[in-house]
A and B are shown apart, each in its own frame.
Chain A
């Protein structure tokens, strides 16, 4: 029964989140702050992880797939498609669920236990909308950009690692990443990043918003937020892959 209670509560919260804002200018200012805090500040970690993963995928493809019967440009091709289809959308979202999700859950949880949310409610502010809506819009808006940055950095990682390891030349690698390109893969992944972005912001927001207790409960909510968001991301990855590739 607990799961149905949480699903119901989550949708009730979302119905409050998407109510008309009290003042658009204030919400817009919040949105800019959230884009910077949750999105721009994640670019560094996204770039670093993507460069390394691009390099690692290239090496794995080299050691596991290349044989005299296969063209070597398959390393670049494989790296590109892995990045576009799963790594830069799904795996990156799992990582963001950890970084951004725990941030959102702990921020809202702390505000709840220190009565800052109650204080907003007393003033007549729709605290759910004021605190959560800008976060959801910010993460949904920034996710496709992070996806594009991640793909680019991953390809650069492969471009550095491939030739350095002697597995593939720069020219062959570039041939690989430009061969048999399917534009739908990009559209598919961008659709996924929108859905995942919504989950990354809304699920931890729900967990944090309804925290009861003290610092210990805020920590627990933050952990739960990351775990639940990760599971939901993988579940929706499965659903979207089935729906969009059918």
Chain B
């Protein structure tokens, strides 16, 4: 479980996160949603420690990462897997080497053991026969899946995904969402996903945190999101004509 308490962060005097508190539960896919520029990525990067927060606490199963020294933070980070928006695979390494990289750096496993783990992780994300390809030689969807394989290589306790569906077609997006949800349940990890994809919200949003202009505006789950009267959230969720129509139909069904 990850708990954030009263997080605030600003850049050059501009407050980007304002007093945000939330609990992200273990074994669930916890979503952070909001418009572009609302502070989602800053919040995610603050939680993982890429940005230092000015106020507040971030607790990883009760461990406050701000009270940790350099070595303790390094150990904590080995419990974290992260999937970046564009995959962030290392261009100079093959798919296999990318997934093996965390094991090369932090384990004393033999090459055979590492390769077995690599193949397990790649099979888990449905990638076969691409071990020796470079990131530039595979599609965007495959890159995301390789990034997930790399993120789970060391059996992380915490998985962070920054807009895992951006730039992907709807079918691949659904596959990626399903994969993240399966992995979360299978390995019982705390997963936090940053997204503005409404399909993801509906499909995998076990818990949802909506932020707007750096502030927490709403908290709930995917079934509650359609019945809320929160104006900002409604403006975000029902922004498109399609979703407005969907809401009308749903309301009619509920009335009946």
Taken together as a complex, chains A and B put the C-alpha atoms of A118 and B77 apart, in Å, by: 12
Q: Tell me if B226 counts as interface (CB < 8 A to partner A).
A: no
User: Which of A71-79, A119-127, A172-180 lies at the interface with chain B?
Assistant: A119-127
Q: A23-B105, A116-B91 are in contact. Are A124 and B84 (CB under 8 A)?
A: no
Q: Tell me if A114 counts as interface (CB < 8 A to partner B).
A: yes
Decide: A23 and B104 in contact? CB cutoff 8 A.
yes
Decide: B105 and A125 in contact? CB cutoff 8 A.
yes
With a CB–CB cut-off of 8 A, which chain B residues contact A110? 91
Which residues of A115-141 are within 8 A (CB) of B?
115-116, 118-119, 121-126
Decide: B77 and A124 in contact? CB cutoff 8 A.
yes
Decide: B104 and A119 in contact? CB cutoff 8 A.
no
Decide: B88 and A114 in contact? CB cutoff 8 A.
yes
Taken together as a complex, chains A and B put the C-alpha atoms of A111 and B92 apart, in Å, by: 10
* A200 smallest CB distance to B (angstroms): 21
Q: In the complex, what residue of chain B is closest to A33 when comparing beta carbons?
A: B92
* B121 smallest CB distance to A (angstroms): 14
Decide: B106 and A124 in contact? CB cutoff 8 A.
yes
Identify B105's interface contact among A26, A114, A116, A118, CB under 8 A.
Answer: A26
Identify A115's interface contact among B75, B88, B102, CB under 8 A.
Answer: B88
Q: In the complex, what residue of chain B is closest to A25 when comparing beta carbons?
A: B104
Q: In the complex, what residue of chain B is closest to A121 when comparing beta carbons?
A: B50
Sort chain A's interface into a size bin: 10 to 19
Q: A26-B105, A115-B84, A115-B85 are in contact. Are A122 and B77 (CB under 8 A)?
A: yes
Sort chain B's interface into a size bin: 20 to 34
Decide: A124 and B75 in contact? CB cutoff 8 A.
yes
Decide: A124 and B88 in contact? CB cutoff 8 A.
no
Question: What is the 8 Å Cβ interface bit string for chain B, positions 87-112, against chain A (1 contact, 0 not)?
Answer: 01111000000000110111000000
Which residues of B150-192 are within 8 A (CB) of A?
160
Taken together as a complex, chains A and B put the C-alpha atoms of A111 and B84 apart, in Å, by: 13
Decide: A119 and B105 in contact? CB cutoff 8 A.
no
User: Which of A23, A111, A115, A122 has the most chain B CB atoms closer than 10 A to its own CB?
Assistant: A122
Q: Tell me if A22 counts as interface (CB < 8 A to partner B).
A: yes
With a CB–CB cut-off of 8 A, which chain A residues contact B74? 124, 126
Taken together as a complex, chains A and B put the C-alpha atoms of A23 and B90 apart, in Å, by: 18
Q: In the complex, what residue of chain A is closest to B45 when comparing beta carbons?
A: A118
Q: A124-B106, A125-B105 are in contact. Are A119 and B77 (CB under 8 A)?
A: no
Q: A22-B106, A23-B104, A118-B50 are in contact. Are A123 and B78 (CB under 8 A)?
A: yes
Q: In the complex, what residue of chain B is closest to A110 when comparing beta carbons?
A: B91
Taken together as a complex, chains A and B put the C-alpha atoms of A23 and B104 apart, in Å, by: 8
Taken together as a complex, chains A and B put the C-alpha atoms of A124 and B75 apart, in Å, by: 7
Question: What is the 8 Å Cβ interface bit string for chain B, positions 66-85, against chain A (1 contact, 0 not)?
Answer: 00000001111110101011
Residue ranges of A at the interface with B (Cβ–Cβ < 8 Å): 22-23, 26, 110-111, 114-116, 118-119, 121-126
Residue ranges of B at the interface with A (Cβ–Cβ < 8 Å): 45, 48-50, 73-78, 80, 82, 84-86, 88-91, 101-102, 104-106, 160
